[in-house]
Every structure is written in C-alpha cells, then in structure tokens.
Amino acid sequence: MPMTAEANTRSAASQGAEGSNREIFLPPERKAVKDGGKPHVTAKNFSIFYGDFEAVKKVNAEVLSRYVTAIIGPSGCGKSTFLRAINRMNDLIPSCHTAGTLMFNGEDIYGKYTDEVLLRKRIGMVFQKPNPFPKSIFDNIAYGPRLHGINDRKTLEGIVEKSLKKAALWDEVSDRLDRNALGLSGGQQQRLCVARALAVEPDILLLDEPTSALDPKATAKIEDLIEELRGSYTILIVTHNMQQASRVSDYTMFFYEGVLVEYAPTKQLFTNPKDQMTEDYITGRFS
Ligand SMILES: Nc1ncnc2c1ncn2[C@@H]1O[C@H](COP(=O)(O)OP(=O)(O)OP(=O)(O)O)[C@@H](O)[C@H]1O
C-alpha cells in the first residue's frame, strides 16, 4: 500500500527524533481567526507565590485573543496556578500572592481597583470535575445572569437557550430544563458548565483539564465544542494530554518547575521545539 502524505510526514518526523521514544504529533492546519490575535492577557515578570514558594516564575507572555492556547507541562509545574491567576481564583488561597503584572485588555488584573466579580464575569472558568449546582438545568445557566441583575423571565429564557446551543447541549436537554442538572451524564454536566460560563458573555474561557474526568466520547464532544468556540472567545486550556493540546490549540505554553520554558504556535512547538526541555517532554523522556 502506498504511503499517504501524512504517513510520510510521520515517518520523517520519527526518523528525525533519533533514538527517542517520540510521540508523533501532527497538529492540524488551522485557519487564522478573524479579528483575532490581539494581546488579550499580558504577563510581565509575573510570579505567583504560595507563602515563600515561587510556583510560577517571572512569566512574560501575551495570550492572543480568539485563539486557543494550551498550557502543558509535568505535574506541579504551575499550569493551574497560572491559569487561576487570570481570573483571580487564587485569591481564595490565603498564602497566595503575586509579583509583576498581569493585564487583561490592558488593565491590571491585580490592580487596586479591579472588581473580582466583574473580572470573573469577563473571564469564565470550567474546572476539572464538572460542578453543576444542585439546581435545575435552567437555574444553573440563569445563575450568573441573575447575579448580574437580569431577572426578566423571557430574557433569561433567551440566554439559557443561546448558551446551551453554544455549548452544544440544547438538543439533548431542551425538553427537560426544569430537571436537576445532577441527573445529566458527566460529559453533559461539563458542557452545562461551559454553558453556565458562557451565559454571562465572557471574553475569555479558562478550562482547567476539562476532560480529565470524562470518557473518550464525552472528551471528543468537549474538543469539538472548543473548536466551535474558537474564534469567538479567547480560550486557555490546561491539559495533561499532549495529543489533546496538539488537536485543539493554536498556541502552546510549556511550563517546567514554574518557568514558562517555551511558548509557540502549537505546530511549531510539537514538531520543531526550540528548547531541549520541550523536546524531552513532548518525546516522553520525562513526564
Ligand atoms: N494551595 C496551595 N498551597 C501551597 N502550594 C500549592 C498550592 N497549590 C499548588 N501548590 C504548589 O504549587 C506548585 C504548582 O501547582 P499547580 O497545581 O499549579 O501545578 P500543575 O502544573 O497544575 O499540576 P497538576 O498537573 O498536577 O495539576 C506545586 O508545587 C504545588 O504543590
């Protein structure tokens, strides 16, 4: 059987990585996003500490609007800490403090006058484990809009429908919006959590290992959803799964021991990493 172009590339890539147990990643070609690519989150010498321990070390980076950026690296390297800093979720940890600056749309996220509630409306988050409220599907989605003063039933109905459609869940739940969200499957619950985050019309979505508790089918649905949302939202996703990073993201950040070692277009980072440490990590020399 003749080798396909893809198989040829795979073969060439395998041969290129002499002696290494190289996983082959072939990130798909991705189209440029309309009106995307502006600095949306900018870190300047940004560090995050737990007490005296510097978990994230002097990061300098710009996250680009409307693209998907994956954050990868071994366990404990600071991925979640960095992600959570972007909507100040770390504020809930008393020992946690920061140095340097982290800007969102040119405004200091840690500025004296920043309102965390409004910040979290603009920068939504979905966690590793689906965490719907023990309420109806409708009330889960309407929760955020109500918190921000929307109480008109018709308006809420419109928001709930739109959000569930964006999260690719509407068709599965439109006839049971009054049922408890905890009755949904794990994958549906996670899409509900995405819908809940979208209901307040955020600019940025932070996804902290959103598929690690899901089976392959539910994982594929979330990955499809990320693809759908790409171009409308700036998305950052922490993932342990390098294949997932290579499939869903436009840019990838590789962290090691709190240091942002390499940050590049996903295709470049996975096929032609500049740093030896990145090369070693993506080829499975350490995990
Ligand atoms: N609440 C906390 N208090 C003290 N140290 C913490 C806290 N949370 C995380 N750390 C430490 O900060 C470092 C970075 O942790 P973080 O959870 O951000 O890493 P990670 O790359 O997301 O790891 P994983 O992939 O295992 O989730 C680790 O050394 C961790 O032990």
Q: What is the pLDDT of residues 83-94, one digit of tens each?
A: 999 999 999 999
Strands 96-104 and 107-108: antiparallel
Q: Which of 4-13, 64-73, 203-212 is the least confident region?
A: 4-13
Which fold, 68-76+116-282?
Rossmann fold (3.40.50)
Q: What is the mean pLDDT of the chain?
A: 90
pLDDT band of residue 287 (cuts 50, 70, 90) is confident
In this prediction the ipTM stands at 0.98
pLDDT band of residue 24 (cuts 50, 70, 90) is low
Instruction: Look at residue 4 and tell me whether its pLDDT is greater than 90.
Output: no
pLDDT band of residue 32 (cuts 50, 70, 90) is very high
| Residue among 48, 54, 81, 261 whose CB has most ligand 1 atoms within 8 A, to mutate | 81
The protein residue with its alpha carbon nearest to ligand 1, atom 20, reads 76
Name the pTM for this structure: 0.90
Q: In which order are the strands placed within the sheet that holds 96-104?
A: 53-64, 39-50, 96-104, 107-108
In the chain, where the domains are located: 68-76+116-282
| Residue among 46, 52, 77 whose CB has most ligand 1 atoms within 8 A, to mutate | 77
The protein residue with its alpha carbon nearest to ligand 1, atom 2, reads 50
